[in-house]
Structures are given as C-alpha cells and as structure tokens.
Amino acid sequence: MGVVRRAAPVAGPAPGALDTEVGLRRAYTAYGAELYRFALRQLGDEGAAQEVVQEVFLRAWRRADTYDPEIASLRSWLFSIARNAVVDEARRVAARPWRRTLTDAPQDSPTAPVTEGLDRAVVDTWVVEEALRRIRPEHRDAIAQTHLRGRPHAEVAAELGIPIGTLRSRIFYGLKALRLAMDEMGVER
C-alpha cells in the first residue's frame, strides 16, 4: 500500500509564503485592486481605502502562520481580514469625526461613507459558500434546500426519499457543522 499525497493547490499565489516579500507581492498583485474597490465602496474615501488595503496585507504578513489553505482560500481569508479592517476604520472615523472634516470634502458628496451594504453581503456570501463546501454533502443539501431556497421540509424530504425527521436531523447537525467550519475559518460572530 502506497502513501496517498494531496495535490498542491494550483491557482493563486503561493499561500504559504505570505511571510516573504515575494509571497506578499504575489498576493497583493492578485487581490490588492479588488480589496481596494471593496474598501472604497464601504468607506467612500480613497485615502481610507488605501490604508485599509495596507492594513490587510500588514495583518496577513503578521498572521501568515495562521493561514491554512485547507480551511479557506487565500481570497476568502484576505477578505475576512478586509472586512474587519473596514469595520475598524469606520469605528475610528466614528470616534473622531472631526478628523475627517480636516481633509475630506463635505459629507454631502456622492462618495459619502457607506458602512453597511451590498459589499458586506457579498463577502458574507463568499464566507458561507466556503464553509458550506467543508461540511458533508447531505448536510449541505438539506441546508441549501430548506434555508437558502426556502423550500418546505416535507417537500424536500419527499424529494430525497427520506423521513422528515431525518431531514430535520441533517439540518440540525449541518448547521452545527457549518458554525464549526466558520469558527475554523476565523469568522467572528
């Protein structure tokens, strides 16, 4: 019997090398612009968005040893960091709003900050999709059919050919597994 080896991930920058300048440059080249657009849409301030991107890669560099490609893709991991950095920046601005008026245009500009919105929902969706990939297929299907598609339990159970109690059990244990997967990915409640 031979040893089974896992194939290395093919796409994206070398995730394990985030603690090196080359690895960080690759990650920045791959995701920097996308992270900047995300931060800009959330904050409505180009300077703050640039600071957030810089903070994301600083945090990624500092925590490079905590990144595990088996738990989340590099993109998901960086966007989780970005979401936290955007929240931190929004809180910083809210705590000292007078600082922003020293250098920024008036608040009635079309680029006024938006701290909640579509972009946060998009990142949350990516995180949930990543977590769903990590749970058992029967749990994932039960959750997707009932919670995400809003189908009645009886209808889904009949379609799958299982008792309704079994479906409910799959949903219950699937949600527990989903929460555990999200905890492992570093998602904060």
Give the pLDDT score at 117: 54
Q: What is the mean pLDDT of residues 110-127?
A: 61
Q: What is the mean pLDDT of residues 93-116?
A: 54
DSSP string, 20-85: SHHHHHHHHHHHHHHHHHHHHHHH--HHHHHHHHHHHHHHHHHTGGG--TTTS-HHHHHHHHHHHH
Residue 184: pLDDT over 50: yes
Residues 34-72: tens digit of each pLDDT: 999 999 888 888 888 999 999 999 999 998 888 888 888
Give the pLDDT score at 121: 67
Which tops the pLDDT comparison, 3 or 124?
A: 124
Residues 13-37: tens digit of each pLDDT: 444 578 888 988 999 999 999 999 9
CA atoms within 13 Å, Cβ hemisphere of 55:
18
Q: Please, which pLDDT band fits residue 124 given cuts at 50, 70 and 90?
A: confident
Give the pLDDT score at 10: 38
Give the pLDDT score at 11: 43
Angstrom distances, CA of residue 98 to CA of 49, 103, 116: 18, 10, 21
Find out whether 171 and 142 touch, Cβ atoms under 8 Å. Answer: yes
**Best mean pLDDT range from 13-17, 88-92, 144-148:** 144-148
Q: How many residues does the chain have?
A: 189
CA atoms within 13 Å, Cβ hemisphere of 5:
4
Alpha-carbon gap, residue 147 to 137, rounded angstroms: 15
Give the pLDDT score at 169: 94
Give the pLDDT score at 100: 55
Give the pLDDT score at 56: 92
